[in-house]
Every structure is written in C-alpha cells, then in structure tokens.
C-alpha cells in the first residue's frame, strides 16, 4: 500500500482543521477525551478493548464462499474484506480499495470486535454504511492515493471497547518518509 505524504496531509488537515471551543482542534479534544481509557498494548497482554479503534469492513454475503473471511457459522452473513480505523463518531479512515468490492460499497462496519465471529464478541457492534469517499486521484492499478473514508449511518457509541484513534494534529511534519501498515485484500 502506497500513501503519499500529500494524501495523508490532505486527510489530516481536513479532519483536524475545524476548530473546537478554545482554539483547540477537534482531533486534540477527542484525544484528550479518550486517552485516559487507553490500555497497555503489549502483545502478551492483549485484552478486550485493547485496540478499540479497529474497524472491520463487511459486505453482505452473496453465494461466493471463496471471497473474504466468511464466518464458520450460520450467524453471520458478511464477508470482511477490509479494515480501517475509527476516527470520529461517524467516520472510518481506510484504504480506497476497502471502499468498494465488485463495484459495490460495503454494507457494515463492525467495531469492538477481537474476533470476527460476532457471537464471540459481547462488545461488538455493527453499523450500517451510509457513504464512502475515495481520494479523487486514487489509482487502483498503482495503489496511489489509496485512502478513503467510510461514513456510518448513525453515531458510534464510544465505550472501553470502541473509541477513535488520535490523529496527527500538527501542520509540521519533521520527517521525509512514512511507513504504514494495513490488512485486507492484497495482490
């Protein structure tokens, strides 16, 4: 996955540009609101709520057992083909390739899950997708500008198991390269 610095800057600036009350950016206010709930993220100590920002992006199953991660039970009718990060009450930041599968937008986003099996996650909550936004210069073949947003149809209820990531809130970037990681469909 390749993201250009300008693509990341565009998203960070757009999300953080709106000012909250006392000249504080919304991104800063949100981080202050929820940082006290953060837990350790040591690999041998991964507990419920450890990664509360992770969003599983799913499409309704359509008679094709060879795509995505279909649940091994009769309780779940979704294939999860993409992942992202919760960044606000309504938005998931993801890759552009995770905003479409076979020219269809995703149906749901699952939050609060440690395991994709819905029935093993007492804190998991599904939200319907109302809109997807991809970078206008996204090039699927080259994976340039591979960034997108998924808007949820209702506000997320934050909890110990579901809360947003903290976004970069500085306009200065004192580095020349950037490494990102992700999960989902790959070549």
- Would you state the CATH architecture of domain 5-152? Beta Barrel (2.40)
- 163, 52 contact by CB (below 8 A): yes
d(CA 73, CA 132): 29
For residue 76, the 8-state DSSP code is: -
What rounded mean pLDDT belongs to the chain? 74
Residue 26 has pLDDT above 90, yes or no: no
pLDDT over 70 percentage in the chain: 63
Query: What tokens does 182 get?
Result: 């992700």
Residue 35 has pLDDT above 70, yes or no: no
Output the pLDDT for position 155. Answer: 96
d(CA 68, CA 1): 18
Output the pLDDT for position 179. Answer: 63
Q: What is the mean pLDDT of residues 59-75?
A: 57
What are the DSSP E strand ranges found in the chain? Answer: 19-20, 24-25, 54-60, 69-70, 78-86, 91-94, 108-111, 125-134, 148-152
State pLDDT tens for residues 117-151. Answer: 656 677 789 999 999 999 999 998 898 999 999 99
Output the pLDDT for position 93. Answer: 94
pTM tops 0.75, yes or no: no
The residues near 2 (Cβ < 8 Å, ≥ 6 apart) are: 142, 143, 144, 146
Domains of the chain: which residue ranges? 5-152
């Amino acid at each position: 996955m390749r993201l250009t610095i300008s693509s990341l800057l565009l998203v960070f600036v757009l999300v953080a540009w709106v000012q909250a009350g006392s000249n504080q950016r919304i991104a800063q206010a949100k981080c202050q609101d929820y940082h006290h709930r953060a837990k350790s993220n040591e690999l041998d100590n991964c507990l419920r709520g450890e990664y509360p920002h992770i969003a599983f992006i799913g499409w309704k199953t359509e008679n094709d057992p060879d795509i995505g991660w279909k649940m091994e039970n009769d309780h779940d009718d979704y294939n999860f083909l993409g992942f992202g990060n919760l960044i606000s009450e309504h938005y998931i930041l993801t890759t552009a390739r995770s905003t479409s599968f076979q020219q269809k937008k995703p149906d749901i986003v699952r939050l609060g899950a440690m395991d994709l099996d819905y029935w093993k996650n007492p804190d998991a909550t599904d939200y319907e997708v109302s809109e997807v936004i991809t970078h206008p210069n996204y090039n699927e073949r080259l994976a340039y500008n591979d960034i997108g947003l998924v808007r949820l149809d209702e506000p997320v209820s934050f909890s110990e198991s579901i809360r947003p990531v903290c976004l970069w809130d500085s306009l200065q970037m004192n580095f020349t390269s950037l490494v990102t990681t992700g999960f989902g469909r790959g070549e």
